[in-house]
Amino acid sequence: MSNIHITVEFGGGAELLFDNKKAHPVTLPAKEKHWIIKDLLTWIKDNLLKERPELFLQDESVRPGILVLINDTDWELMDTVNYVIQENDRILFISTLHGG
Amino acid sequence: MPPCSTKCGKNAILKRPKTGDVLCKECFFEAFENEIHFTITRAKLFKPNSKVAIAASGGKDSTVLAYVLKLLNQKYDYKLDLTLLSIDEGITGYRDDSLETVKQNRDDYEMPLKIMSYKDLYGWTMDEIVAEIGRKNNCTFCGVFRRQALDRGAVLLKVDYLATGHNADDIAETVLMNILRGDLARLSRCSAIITDSGDGIPRVKPLKYTYEKEIVMYAYFRKLVYFSTECVFAPNAYRGHARVLLKDLEKIDPSVIMNIIQSGESLKINESANMPTLRKCTRCGYVSSQEVCKACVLLEGLNKGLPKLGIGKSSKVKKFIQEKNCKTDCLCNNK
């Protein structure tokens, strides 16, 4: 297993928790087992999340109201937290939790 | 990736929370738009050749509402004259930025735009109000003032309808909120798709049955530009409790949102319950369930340095007015 290079993106206001940056190129360090989204969330919490983790994460997933798109596809179609991350994947988190 | 449920041959890109269908992008657009069209025609929301003001904040709901109404107006020939109406509450860093987005909507969708400000209407911006009253009950002031501001804007624009972007999640939250607070009057009205504020310009909610998640997905895949920051005063809002509850429930079963709306629509208030009747404010003439409308009461409180006036029971306000009996130095003569 080698390192995996992906892009993690934030929208809908979620970027405010991440230094107001919408796109983050990320290199996930090689490990024995596959990287799944659940692992990525822990990694994001430890490495990218600057403040207020409870606004992004809840239990072992994202806070309800945060949509996740993997390569422009709803993660609900891709096994949500158990999706196995591939090289060059683009993972987008969009918050819906704000006024309309 | 599973194939699209419509058997069109393309790969699905999302799972609709409303129906559980998996759809490709184009089929999703079609389903989303057609359902709104169906909502509009079934409820007979608009008469042909009417003028409609779209309450626009620059946020996701009103941006999608404006886009879809324009699209459906053309596709199904509703013969509507559409215009954007925006309210500037005077919240630095929130409203001033989102108004820029509304201006972009005006240009992108080629619709006229009118902006009404709290400062002009009431003499106070929300920033000034919060500085006066502190961080509690901010939404009470803002909501009351904005509702009235929208109605006044609609009258100025001489429109036949005012369309707002309230979505299914909003309405379900409101039903829950009103149950939690025991607000029977609001509970009986809040899930109606058309509400009449008494001065002849009905408010309609074309997105009433549209899920918030789908609105965000639609805006994303249609590449619509919207402003997405939480109001700086929102973290203290009561609605937050209802929202958290609803989101947790939705995670377990998304149909809960539609079910709550249906429960709200079917509620019948016990005849022995005390319900207010609509009349006109004796100060400003705006529609009200009390002798003096909430906006006038709140304004009087602000102008007299009594920020708590108007928060809480109306009976206390009545007593205050009777005792003070101020006709001459009332500062809220808004006509």
> Is residue B66 within 8 Å of residue B105, measured between CB atoms?
yes
d(Cα B164, Cα B273) in Å, to the nearest integer?
30
Mean confidence (pLDDT) of chain A: 91
Contacts of B166 in chain A (CB under 8 A): 100
Write out pLDDT tens, residues B16-30.
988 899 999 999 999
What sign for the dihedral angle of Cα B227, B231, B235, B239? negative
Residue B323 confidence (pLDDT): 62
Nearest CA in chain B to A76: B15
Looking at the DSSP bridge assignments, the partners of residue A23 are: A9
For residues B124-145, b (16+ Cβ closer than 10 Å) or e, as one string? bbbbebbeebeeebbbbbbebb
Of chain A, the end-to-end C-alpha distance in Å amounts to: 44
**Strand partners of residue A95:** A66
Pick from A69, A70, A76 the residue to mutate for testing the B interface (most B CBs within 10 Å): A76
Per-residue pLDDT tens digits for A32-74: 899 999 999 999 999 998 788 888 999 889 998 899 999 999 9
Question: Which of B238, B256, B267 minimizes the C-alpha distance to B180?
Answer: B238
Would you call B94 exposed, middle or buried from its count of C-beta atoms within 10 A (0-12, 13-18, 19+)? buried
Model pTM?
A: 0.88
Q: CA B229 to CA B165: how far, in whole Å? A: 16
Predicted local confidence at residue B321, as pLDDT: 64
Residues 6+ apart with CB under 8 A from A44: A8, A56
| Count of other CB atoms within 10 angstroms of residue B265 | 14
CB B233 within 8 A of CB B138: yes
Provide the ipTM. Answer: 0.93
Alpha-carbon distances, residue B266 vs B42, B263, B269, B276, B287 (angstroms)? 18, 5, 10, 20, 26
Stretches where chain B sits below pLDDT 50 are 326, 328-329, 332-335
pLDDT digit string, tens, across residues B177-215: 999 988 888 888 888 899 876 667 999 999 999 999 999
Query: DSSP label at B301?
Result: H
* Residue A23, min C-alpha distance to chain B (Å): 16
With an 8 Å Cβ cutoff, are A12 and B228 in contact?
A: yes
Residue B230 touches partner A, C-beta closer than 8 Å: yes
- How many A-B residue pairs are in contact by the CB < 8 A criterion? 72
